[in-house]
Structures are given as structure tokens and as C-alpha cells.
Amino acid sequence: MGVLGCASIALRKVMPAMRDAEHVELRAVASRDPARARDAARRFGCAAAGGYEDLLGRADIDAVYIPLPTGLHAHWTERALAAGKHVLAEKPLTCDHATAVALVEQARKAGLWLMENYMFLHHGQHRAVGDLVAAGRIGAPRVFTARFGIPPRDAADIRYRPDLGGGALLDVGVYPIRAASHFLGPELDVVGSVLRMDPATGVDVAGHALLCTPSGITAELSFGFEHAYRSGYALWGDRARITVDRAFTPPPGSEPLVRVESPDGTEELSLPADDQVKNTAEAFARSVLGDADYAPHAEAITRQAALVERVRARARIVRPPAPSR
């Protein structure tokens, strides 16, 4: 593996996990700042490449991880695939559906694996929830709700840069949307949405979306940068309701708690701790080595991009008035 960029998530989470993951050897890291690349290379025991193109040209790199700002994912994914490298790209892969389709097709034609990095999908708690739903614990599902909100960031944060793909929808909103598809299936569509725009930066800082399956199961999703931290979802059926806290970013050492609320009372299920970052790295490696079917994975990438695009296209845009002086 090579790493294109020294983003915080790469240094704090993904590169340590890659160092410990089976079937993965962290070989090199690149940065726009050569000093940062050298520091990261010393920390993780790998080489410092001379730049992004230099890393892509290395014969000892089979695949790359791209943790760059959202607006740069598509360009460097295209360049990596053109260089013959498998790609693990941070979410979202692109800012629009058409580009996602093009990249998925480029990878397919080249015989390469392209993976969008929704790490939460590789945590065991969601598999346990799926098993409970399949076993009929909540009865027939009626409503899926999900929330992912974080407090305001520093004004210089790239999340507030429209030219780099900033905004709450692409940063935190994509998690509830992906979770809704995971549990409700591929026929989910967008009924309507609201995006709250920040007049100073020009990016959306909060939003809410209503999605629906053809049979009428709804997904109510909220997200934003103006919130007390919350990361969870619930599945509400005609018999009971399952709730999950810390759904999207659980620490690797924490033991998840899943609650099943029914007319007979509340049951709390304590699940084993799991490391979704390490699991993701290993799942990517297994896929590259041939232990997966690319077609359904590629379809999930393009379906997610289409849903995100529809949330934006169908949104009522709210622009708060500027504060009075």
C-alpha cells in the first residue's frame, strides 16, 4: 500500500491500522509537504515518496489509499487507476454521480479494485443488527432514522471550502444515507430534503432528508456541523425498535451497546469490541487478492452517489439572515 496524503484520518487511524492488518504492507507515503512525508515515513516505518506522481510510479506499490480533501478524490483516483493501482478512497469518492460512474467503469475495464471508504460498514455491530432484523425481532421494518452531527469546526477547516468539496452533506451526511441503503436496500429514493447554507462560506452546514422505499418504508436522516456530537441510528418496526449509539465512529476498544425496545421492556445487548478501521484495510486487501465480486460493490458506489446528488437537487435551501451589527 501507498498513501497519497498525510491527512489527519490517515495518520491517526488508517495508517496505524494498515501497519497491523493482515495481507497489507505499508510501503510508502507521499505529501505536498516533503517534510510531512518524511515524518510520517519515520513514524510508520515506510518510505517517503517524492510526491503523489512519484508514489504512483513506484513498481513496489500495488494499491493506494487516498485521504485527500473530498474535491481531490476523483482526480487522484483517476490518476491512480491509470497508473495500474487498486484504490481505497476516502468517502465520498466523488462530488457527483457521473464522475462516480466513470471511475467505477475505469476500474472495471482495468481489472482493478476501487473501494469507497465507509469504514462503519465493516464493524460487527451492524451485522448483529442485521441479524436481529432478519430474525424478526422488530417485526416488519417501518422507519429508519439516523443522525450524524459534529460541533462547528475551526474557520480554516477544509470542510468550509466549496472548492475542495466542503459542506456537511458530503462530509457527515453521506454516512446516514449509506446506512439507510445498507438496511433498506437498493430501491431507496429521495422524497425531499433541506440544506442550511452558511452565507459566509457558501457551503451547507446542516441538513435533513426524507427517503422512501417503493413499499413505503421511510428513512429520516439528519446531519450537520452545528450540533452537539451525535452518531447513531434506529430501526423501528411494528413489534420493536433497535437503537445504536456511536454507530459511525466507534473507538476500537469500546463495546457497542444495542438496545431492543418493545412493549415488554428494553433489552440491552453488549457486543464485542471491534476495530472497523483494521477490518476495512483487511477487507480491501482480500478484495484485491480476489475474494470478492466487484459488480455489487461498484453498484453500491454509484447508487450512493446518485442518492447524495438527489438530496442536493431536491433540497429546499435555507440561508439564515446575516447577524445584525
Q: Phi, psi at residue 201, to the nearest 5°?
A: -105, -25
User: Concatenated DSSP letters for 283-325?
Assistant: HHHHHHTT-S-HHHHHHHHHHHHHHHHHHHHTEEEE-PPPPP-
d(CA 259, CA 254): 16
Do residues 304 and 46 touch, judged by C-beta distance below 8 A?
no
The set of catalytic residues is 91
Residues 6 or more apart in contact with residue 131 via CB below 8 angstroms: none
Do residues 41 and 56 touch, judged by C-beta distance below 8 A?
no
Q: How far is CA 296 from CA 114, 146, 186, 293, in A?
A: 12, 24, 11, 7
